[in-house]
Amino acid sequence: MRRYLIHTFGCQMNVHDSLRIEEVLSASGYAATEAPETADLIVFNTCSIREKADHKLRSAVGTFRELKEQKRDLVMVVAGCMAQQRGQALLDEVDLVDVVIGPDNIAELPALIGHVRGGGPPIARTEFDLDAPSFLQAHASRQRREVSSYVTVMKGCDERCTFCIVPYTRGSERYRTSDEIVAEVRRLCEAGVREVTLLGQTVNSWHEPHEPITRDRPSRFAWLLERIAREVPELGRLRYTSPHPRHVTPELVAAHAQLAVLPAHVHLPVQSGSDRVLRMMLRRYRRADFLEAAAALHAARPGFTLSTDIIVGFPGETEEDFQATLSLVREAGFVSVFAFKYSPRPHTPALRLGDTVSEEIKTERLARLFEVADAQQAAHLQSLLGRSLEVLLEGRSKTDAQRMTGRSERHEIVHVSIPPGVAKQELQGELVRVRCVEANKRSLVAELLEPPRAPSAARIPNPLPTAKSGLRLPLLPS
């Protein structure tokens, strides 16, 4: 039996793609290995969003040069966004690579490997499925218990933010039908999955493929959430990533107020708190719009939390612009911030603006931003001490044999002490009540309070209202 090893770089979308690559390879007779020397196939599933992605890939591939020279039949594959971005150029520039494959071509991987093993030259396959979109479906693993899984609802992006390479590496937006999505969620739950995360580059822009969004017909994403909750009552928790602020509709806010299966948390990327910078980024909302959306979500459910993405040092960003970002972080009350220094990416409109903020200033601003964000996260975690939380237990703690690790309804990482005599294996995938007893820098420690509970029909509310009043972020001209 041939064996494969996958190295994954980047975001949840890439993790999802790597899981689908595993399924495709397993169906072709491959087995996973963690030892490179036993691998017949090594896959690098790449990201190209952040700085120096190309250098990181070359470095990772280069570590296996000696192994490749020793095992001439070892096949090395580059997949993901970097593969889509560079295509044939990767084969021309990196002599160790045999196959380059884009995200839309994962199902073709076994055939491409066969081509190389049969004596064919290195090959690149990076075609978008724009005319006939296909979506790789998730299947629960037969080898291990999966508590959480991902379901793609859409792919591609039409937002065209000036800093972002995603439209180039993932193509324009394509959507799955609600029937397909609900059926996949149901199948995963029947196999024991308790938490599903819906994936999409702008996940909350989802609509039925035959019902495009118009000014009179906004995103149908909230309706999709309600349908999943109603038709798959055994689902314990339903998350989604990554939403775009301009698709935070009144219906979506209402869903968070009414659907218990939704967590009291959303990761909502803002990127900047300055209207001037937001315009240069082509984010198509203003600071006030974002804060209105944040306030509505906070009001949807007690204890609701937000996290976000922020770019510092975007071309032309002044100290005044950066101060606006700091004030927005405080005003929005983010409990976690993922922040990055701006780096020029190929094929993005922001390249025309130049890289005008020095590396020293970027580094200094990033440190100041983290100082504010870390203080808010610490205060939030401290506020939970002594309180009861509902935690989905994902598995054993990696550092303490007497604990299991999971996430709360607000997405905090929680390490739960398990009393002697309680079988940890039986608790995996269960929703339990715990009391927080300690706050770490990025996580909580808690003790078990109650036995696990099962989801029930009582967690599924009445259908969402269709009222048009309330929050609506405007569609600003490009």
Query: Which residue matches tokens 């909502």?
Result: 268
- Check whether residue 116 and residue 205 sit in a common domain: no
- Whether 205 and 152 map to the same domain: the answer is yes
- Residues forming a β-bridge with 213: none
Reading the block at residue 150, the tokens are: 């991902």
In a domain, 37, yes or no: yes
One domain for residues 321 and 223? no
In a domain, 307, yes or no: yes
CATH number at residue 208: 3.30.750.210
Q: In what helix (H) or strand (E) does residue 423 lie, and over which residues does it extend?
A: none
Of the CA atoms within 13 Å of residue 384, those in its CB half-sphere come to 31
Residues 106 and 102: their CA atoms lie apart, in Å, by 7
> Which residues in 138-205 belong to E strands, given as ranges?
148-152, 154-155, 174-175, 195-199
Are 72 and 24 part of one and the same domain? yes
Q: What is the pLDDT of residue 461?
A: 44
**In this structure, which amino acid lies at residue 412?**
E
Q: Do both 84 and 182 map to the same domain?
A: no
CATH of the domain at 372: 3.30.750.200
- Please state the φ and ψ torsions of residue 298, each to the nearest 5 degrees: -60, -35
Q: Note whether 399 and 291 are same-domain residues.
A: no
Q: What is the count of structural domains for the chain?
A: 4
In a domain, 415, yes or no: yes
Same domain, 182 and 281: no
Q: How far is it, in rounded angstroms, from Cα 65 to Cα 470?
A: 59
Check residue 10 and give left, alpha or beta (phi > 0: left; psi -120 to 50: alpha). Answer: left
CB burial of 49-69 (b: ≥16 within 10 Å; e: otherwise) equals beeebbebbeeebeebeeebe
Query: Of 368, 295, 283, 289, which is closest to residue 326 (Cα–Cα)?
Result: 368
* 77 class by beta-carbon count within 10 Å (0-12 exposed, 13-18 middle, 19+ buried): buried
Q: What's the domain range around 82?
A: 3-125
Residue 465 counted as domain residue: no
pLDDT in tens, 346-360: 889 999 999 999 999
Rounded (10°) angle between helices 287-300 and 319-332:
10
Q: How far apart are CA 11 and CA 242, in angstroms?
A: 10
Q: In this structure, are 371 and 396 located in the same domain? A: no
List pLDDT tens digits, range 359-403.
999 999 999 999 999 999 999 999 999 999 999 999 999 888 889
**Tell me, what's the pLDDT at 142?**
61
Claim to verify: residue 287 and residue 333 sit in the same structural domain: yes
**235 three-class SS:** coil
Domain end marker among 356, 382, 408:
382
Residues in the chain: 478
Q: Is residue 467 part of a domain?
A: no
What distance in Å separates the CA atoms of residue 133 and residue 420, rounded to the nearest whole number? 51
**Domain boundary residue, one of 367, 382, 397:** 382
Which segments of the chain have a pLDDT < 50? Answer: 456-478
State whether residue 96 is helix, strand or coil: coil
Residue 456 has, within 13 A of its CA and on its CB side, a CA count of 4
- Those residues with Cβ within 8 angstroms of residue 327's Cβ, 6 or more apart along the chain or in another chain: 273
Regarding whether 360 and 269 lie in a shared domain, the answer is: yes
Tell me if 461 is assigned to some domain.
no
135 vs 8, 155, 232, 243, 430, CA distance in Å? 20, 9, 21, 19, 29
**By the 8 A CB rule, do 157 and 348 touch?**
no
Among 125, 145, 177, where does a domain finish? 125
Supply the DSSP string of 299-349, one letter for each residue. Answer: HHSTT-EEEEEEEES-TT--HHHHHHHHHHHHHHT-SEEEEEE----TT-G
- In the sheet with 31-32, reading across from the earlier edge strand, the strands are 31-32, 3-8, 41-46, 75-80, 99-101, 123-125
**102 with 202, same domain?**
no
Average pLDDT score over the chain: 90
pLDDT at 478: 32
Over the stretch 175-232, which tens digit does the pLDDT of each residue have?
A: 999 999 999 999 999 999 999 999 999 999 999 998 877 766 667 999 999 999 999 9
Tell whether 79 is covered by a domain.
Answer: yes
Q: For residue range 407-420, what is the model confidence (pLDDT) as tens digits?
A: 999 999 999 999 88
CATH code of the domain covering residue 76: 3.40.50.12160
Question: What kind and span of H or E run contains 392?
Answer: strand 388-396
Q: In terms of Cα–Cα distance, which of 32, 43, 42, 35 is closest to 1?
A: 32
Decide if 399 contacts 359 (C-beta within 8 A). no
User: What is this structure's pTM?
Assistant: 0.84
- Single out the residue of 293, 292, 291, 274 nearest to residue 283, CA to CA: 274
